[in-house]
A = this chain, B = another copy of it.
Amino acid sequence: MALKHAILSALSRGVARTGYELNVAFRDVTDSAWHASPSQVYSELQKMDASGLIAVHKRDERGKTSYVITDEGMGELRRWLIDDEPDHSVRDDAMLRMLTLWVLDKETINYLIDAEVAFQQRRLLQLKRLLRDWKETRPDTPVWRNRYSAYVMNVSVTTVRLSWLKGLREVLLDESVDPEEVFTYLTDTVDNLHI
């Protein structure tokens, strides 16, 4: 039930938000640690309002409703971080696909890796654009410091993934190359990070 905590996390930054705004945030790279479908967000907000974790901040004539976090919600957010064990289980559809490519013919493998590369490159561009937007207004609050760190993590992993996809293509399409050699550059580079 981490959608609850993803919403609390978003609202903990102090700005009132509508369900729609939360959905935009969950959809795009900014807050992309937890995905949720729009309808789920709306019904979760109702439940959280009823249980006192969040409160209605403003509701205009037609239904547009923004919410803020309550003290109780802030307490629950802290309790979750401290008491609940992190769930490290992974469900990565795109990676599962990349690990199953060998069942296909080379032409199709090549096509599917192209598509994945295109996706990751688009993601990297979105992230770079986000940084450009930050350059102007950059408050240096704890919130911003934490979010900037997230940005660095996303850029790093996406870049690694792109480099890896390049190696994967070689390894799967040319059976004469040695996989270990193909990935030498990637593994050597990241090895520099770890002391």
Contacts and interface: CB of A to CB of B under 8 A. Distances in A.
Interface of A: 2, 5-6, 9, 12, 32-35, 74, 77-78, 81-82, 86-104, 108, 112, 115-116, 119, 142-143, 145-150, 152-153, 155-157, 159-164, 167-168, 171-172, 175, 179-180, 183, 185-187, 189-194
25 contacts: A2-B96, A9-B100, A33-B99, A34-B93, A34-B96, A35-B90, A81-B101, A81-B112, A87-B93, A91-B91, A98-B149, A101-B146, A146-B168, A146-B172, A149-B172, A149-B179, A152-B167, A153-B160, A155-B190, A156-B164, A159-B191, A160-B160, A160-B190, A163-B193, A189-B190
A103 B77 contact: yes
Contacts of A155: 187, 190
A191 to B, nearest CB: 7
User: How many monomers of this protein are in the complex?
Assistant: 2
A18 B193 CA distance: 40
Closest 6 pairs (CB-CB, A-B): A35-B89, A163-B193, A33-B96, A102-B142, A87-B93, A102-B146
B100 A81 contact: yes
A2 B91 contact: yes
Given A34-B96, A88-B94, 20 more contacts: A34-B91, A34-B92, A35-B90, A81-B97, A86-B94, A86-B115, A95-B150, A95-B153, A99-B150, A100-B146, A145-B172, A148-B171, A148-B179, A149-B167, A149-B179, A152-B183, A153-B160, A156-B186, A186-B193, A189-B193
